[in-house]
């Protein structure tokens, strides 16, 4: 106890000594932890060189099923700001925060976003999916770029409050980023509006595109029996083939490897286009299709419009 106290006192006098040297303490980057890759990208866009960023669920990671390690607790223990999505997306986070003894500020990036309610069927599907969504709102709010603007402003504000020495830089970067997202939003709307409404129906086995569908005017239809564990039955496949024919669905996107065979059979028997990968809950690494939030949208919209146009 005494030893620890002495160490703490020593550390605080060192910190004071450091602060007395002009510029020194202020130059140390702000330690920020983001819960998953999309928020990590937003923090990087806004915080730039002022921030030392650690992302818990990295590129290609599944934030729904994440199991934190002691190394994650260490990252969090030394951070001053934690950026989370909220809406029940990171169900593993409260335990990690406690284990790490995190004493910094937490910002919920989705605060003030336009939320989409989950109906009972969707909540049930999420549970079957292995998704751990608590609450009645769809957590994938970033799939609407107008919400992305809200996220950007929340993150900019939190960075400015946590690191007042660079507040102006954060605010300026957040506004510039928000403007880019607004321009991208207009571009996405225009590109999707160019597809005849009757063709804007696609099948995907991922349930994360509810916001995207509502806002940009695409109907995303889930194939039946999409649990990753259960093999779809012949009855399931026949039912969805009927549905695709009746509803004139133009494209099928392969999201989950477990369902590939089923989706290919459906495409063969209906003539619907098989689309490429869509990214929803995680970015790719720097060499991949979707290394940033903006590039994720650009990629997804190109995949969707090409497939819906039947090219």
Closest CB 284 distance from Zn ion, rounded Å: 16
Report the candidate in 54, 55, 52 with the shortest Cα–Cα distance to residue 36: 55
Closest CB 5 distance from Zn ion, rounded Å: 46
Report the candidate in 206, 89, 188 with the shortest Cα–Cα distance to residue 146: 188
Specify the residue, 139 or 156, whose C-beta has the smaller distance to Zn ion. Answer: 139
Contact characters 198-237, Zn ion, x per CB under 5 A: ----------x-----------------------------
Closest CB 258 distance from Zn ion, rounded Å: 16
Specify the residue, 131 or 201, whose C-beta has the smaller distance to Zn ion. Answer: 131
Report how many residues bind Zn ion under the rule CB under 5 A: 2
Contact characters 157-196, Zn ion, x per CB under 5 A: ----------------------------------------
The Cα 49–Cα 30 span in angstroms is 9
The Cα 210–Cα 220 span in angstroms is 7
Question: Exactly one of 212, 281, 283, 294 binds Zn ion (CB under 5 A); which one?
Answer: 281
Cα distances from 60 to residues 36, 44, 158, 225, 271, in angstroms, run 10, 18, 26, 24, 30
The Cα 158–Cα 136 span in angstroms is 26
Specify the residue, 143 or 270, whose C-beta has the smaller distance to Zn ion. Answer: 143
Closest CB 136 distance from Zn ion, rounded Å: 16
- Report the number of secondary-structure helices (H) and strands (E) in the chain: 12, 8
Closest CB 305 distance from Zn ion, rounded Å: 23
The Cα 85–Cα 88 span in angstroms is 8
Binding site for Zn ion (CB under 5 A): 208, 281
């Amino acid at each position: 106890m005494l030893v620890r106290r002495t160490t703490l006192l020593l550390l605080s006098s060192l910190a004071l000594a450091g602060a007395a040297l002009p510029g020194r303490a202020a130059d140390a980057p702000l330690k920020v932890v983001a819960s998953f890759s999309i928020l990590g990208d937003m923090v990087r866009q806004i915080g730039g060189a002022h921030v030392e960023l650690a992302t818990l669920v990295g590129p290609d990671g599944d934030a729904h099923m994440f199991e934190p390690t002691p190394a994650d607790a260490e990252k969090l223990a030394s951070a001053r700001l934690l950026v989370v999505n909220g809406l029940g997306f990171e169900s593993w986070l409260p335990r990690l925060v406690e284990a790490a003894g995190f004493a910094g500020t937490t910002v919920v990036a989705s605060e003030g976003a336009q939320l989409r309610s989950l109906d009972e069927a969707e909540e049930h599907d999420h549970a079957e999916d292995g998704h751990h969504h608590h609450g009645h709102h769809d957590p994938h709010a970033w799939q609407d770029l107008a919400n992305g603007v809200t996220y950007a402003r929340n993150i900019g504000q939190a960075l400015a409050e946590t690191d007042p020495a660079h507040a102006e830089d954060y605010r300026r970067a957040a506004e510039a980023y928000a403007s880019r997202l607004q321009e991208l939003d207009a571009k996405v709307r225009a590109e999707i509006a160019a597809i005849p409404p009757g063709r804007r129906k696609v099948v995907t086995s991922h349930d994360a595109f509810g916001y995207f569908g509502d806002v940009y005017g695409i109907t995303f239809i889930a194939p039946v029996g999409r649990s990753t564990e259960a093999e779809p039955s012949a009855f399931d496949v026949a039912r969805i083939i009927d549905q695709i024919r009746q509803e004139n669905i133009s494209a099928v996107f392969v999201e989950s490897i477990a369902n590939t065979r089923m989706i290919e059979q459906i495409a063969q028997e209906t003539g619907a286009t098989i689309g490429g990968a869509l990214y929803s809950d995680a970015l790719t690494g720097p060499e991949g299709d979707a290394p940033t939030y903006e590039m994720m949208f650009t990629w997804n919209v190109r995949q969707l419009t090409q497939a819906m146009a039947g090219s």
